[in-house]
Amino acid sequence: MTAETHIRPDSLSNGTGFYRNASNELCCEDTLLSDIAHRWGTPTYVYSRAAITERWNAYETAFGTAPHQICYAVKAASTKGILEVLAALGAGFDCVSGGEILRVLAAGGDPKKIVFSGVAKTPADIAFALTAGIKCFNIESPAELDRIANTARNLGLKAHISVRVNPNIDAHVDHHVATGLGDSKFGVKLTDVIALYQKAAELKEIEIEGIPCHIGSLVESTAPYMSEIEVLSVFVNELLDRGIALKHFDIGGGAGVAYKADEKTLEPSELIPAVVAQIRSLVKIPDIEILIEPGRSIIAQAGVLLTRVEYLKSGLFERNFCVVDASMTELVRPAMYGSHHEIEPVSPRSDIEAERLNIVGGVCESSDILGSDRELAVAPGDLLAIRTAGAYGMSMASTYNSRPLPMEVLVDGAVIRPLRRRMTALDLLSDEYDLGLGQACIPADEVKKLFTQAQTYSEPAEDHDNLP
């Protein structure tokens, strides 16, 4: 079954990916979310290819003719299928581990468009990145430069590097996601930047590429980026005077998106022209390439988490709970950051009264709350969509409480493309060793059989004809 043509643009995705049809059912492109849940179960992440493409194109359009490279921040959503979509669009990638580089290459990404950040690059990760031929390493400390130079020397290769600057700038974001303050673990302190570039210039194993920075996540205005550019441009110009001409200027990522209907997304059409103008006015290298590392602003609004209501229960102090099959293991942001996600029924009800509910999961932590004090009319078995969940959802999911990772699908028009197979708790045992310390009460093969059989069980519908 396919969705009807939408009649209402969605406030959280501009109607590109998600909307309600004429029957008021929540859809993704040409597909009913209820059809996805029926076929693939819950909890399931649903992504819209059209929404990802629209966000990517918004950045490309905003740059116009300015030399640039958009490096998608893999940490935001790292599933291979999503990276494939972006690689096909010509994306570069911002990686922070050897594993992320592996994912990008497996997805068809161009190693010459990979920048490698992160404060704890291991010798193995550095060797992998060097032999793969990435664009550059973003150096986070003097010791890291030594390690990269030594590895390059031992491998007979040249390492392309940039020195990530810690600008000591307050981007006015939550302290959990601030990365550009002076007390942050990220980047090189201001007083070490010039000396580190000069040292790098003297090493034959090193080629200097550019200068990067990252000030935080969920940045609401262009002002912090303007301040960042002011700080970095001083270094670019001083290095030029010292005979070191940088090739690119990397402003990092962090542009904020609307998690509520009344919030404002920092659009590429506002951010990028301001960035280009500021760099052109302050930097003495007129054709310097501009890099940006968006993650959340490309993928957040392109994804929802589908979940099903298991129980409704009341508590003390007039507190009522809606218990769902998703939890903080699928979406940790509310528990970790106190983040807000809109939560709405896939198929709204008119037959029951709405009530104020805490939407909670089944994990044994008091912080396992996906949404507090939400007015919802729901019953057990109903489907809910947790909105703006594409970024830092699946990529931060865990198997705590021996809960399997959620399913993921990509919607491409009327086509639903699974991005992984549905994991079960049996998969969690597959890479663990049996110590053989005792005889099992139930043989292992029988346990697997019992578990597998149980997965096909569904609760029978109530027989209203035979009720007393």
Mean pLDDT of 144-173: 88
Please give the residue range of the domain that contains residue 192.
Answer: 50-298
pLDDT for the residue numbered 4: 45
Token duo for residue 228 = 């960042």
Same domain, 226 and 137: yes
Does residue 137 fall inside a structural domain?
Answer: yes
The Cα diameter of the chain in Å comes to: 90
Does residue 446 fall inside a structural domain?
Answer: no
466, exposed or middle or buried, with CB in 10 Å at 0-12, 13-18, 19+? exposed
pLDDT band, residue 48 (cuts 50/70/90) = very high
pLDDT for the residue numbered 9: 47
Same domain, 244 and 353: no
Mean pLDDT of 3-26: 70
Same domain, 230 and 354: no
Does residue 134 fall inside a structural domain?
Answer: yes
Q: List CB contacts of 346: < 8 A, sequence separation 6 or more.
A: 25, 26, 33, 34, 37, 306, 382, 383, 384, 385
pLDDT at 178 over 50: no
Task: Count Cβ atoms below 10 Å from residue 352 Cβ, excluding itself.
Answer: 11
pLDDT at 464 over 70: no
Same domain, 262 and 137: yes
- 79-88, 184-193, 286-295, 404-413: least confident range: 184-193
The model's pLDDT over 298-336, given as tens digits with 9 standing for 90+, comes to 999 999 999 999 999 997 777 799 999 999 999 999 999
pLDDT for the residue numbered 263: 87
Same domain, 138 and 174: yes
Same domain, 117 and 170: yes
pLDDT at 295 over 90: yes
Final residue in a domain of this structure, among 242, 274, 298 = 298
pLDDT for the residue numbered 16: 73
Residue 19 to residues 24, 301, 378, Cα–Cα distance (Å): 9, 12, 20
The model's pLDDT over 80-135, given as tens digits with 9 standing for 90+, comes to 999 999 999 999 999 999 999 999 999 999 999 999 999 999 999 999 999 999 99
pLDDT for the residue numbered 253: 92
pLDDT for the residue numbered 457: 84
468, exposed or middle or buried, with CB in 10 Å at 0-12, 13-18, 19+? exposed
What CATH code is carried by the domain that includes residue 120?
A: 3.20.20.10
Same domain, 243 and 364: no
Dist. CA 101–CA 153, nearest whole Å: 21
Task: Count Cβ atoms below 10 Å from residue 6 Cβ, excluding itself.
Answer: 16
Same domain, 55 and 115: yes
pLDDT at 41 over 60: yes
Final residue in a domain of this structure, among 265, 298, 331 = 298
The model's pLDDT over 427-458, given as tens digits with 9 standing for 90+, comes to 999 999 989 898 889 988 998 999 999 988 88
Does residue 84 fall inside a structural domain?
Answer: yes
Final residue in a domain of this structure, among 273, 298, 323 = 298
pLDDT for the residue numbered 169: 66
Does residue 385 fall inside a structural domain?
Answer: yes
* Mean pLDDT value across the chain: 91
Does residue 69 fall inside a structural domain?
Answer: yes
pTM of this structure: 0.92
Same domain, 385 and 280: no
Mean pLDDT of 131-144: 96
CB 330 within 8 A of CB 368: no
What is the tally of structural domains in the chain?
A: 2
Dist. CA 47–CA 394, nearest whole Å: 11
Does residue 70 fall inside a structural domain?
Answer: yes
What CATH code is carried by the domain that includes residue 416?
A: 2.40.37.10
pLDDT at 33 over 90: yes
Dist. CA 291–CA 92, nearest whole Å: 9
pLDDT for the residue numbered 463: 52
Residue 27: active-site member: no
pLDDT for the residue numbered 185: 77
Same domain, 338 and 252: no
User: From the candidates 27, 28, 136, 364, which is the catalytic residue?
Assistant: 364
Does residue 195 fall inside a structural domain?
Answer: yes
pLDDT at 167 over 70: yes
Same domain, 129 and 275: yes
pLDDT at 7 over 50: no
pLDDT at 466 over 50: no
pLDDT band, residue 367 (cuts 50/70/90) = very high
pLDDT for the residue numbered 8: 42
Same domain, 286 and 358: no
Token duo for residue 118 = 């992160």
Considering only CA atoms, which of 155, 153, 159, 151 is closest in space to residue 134?
159
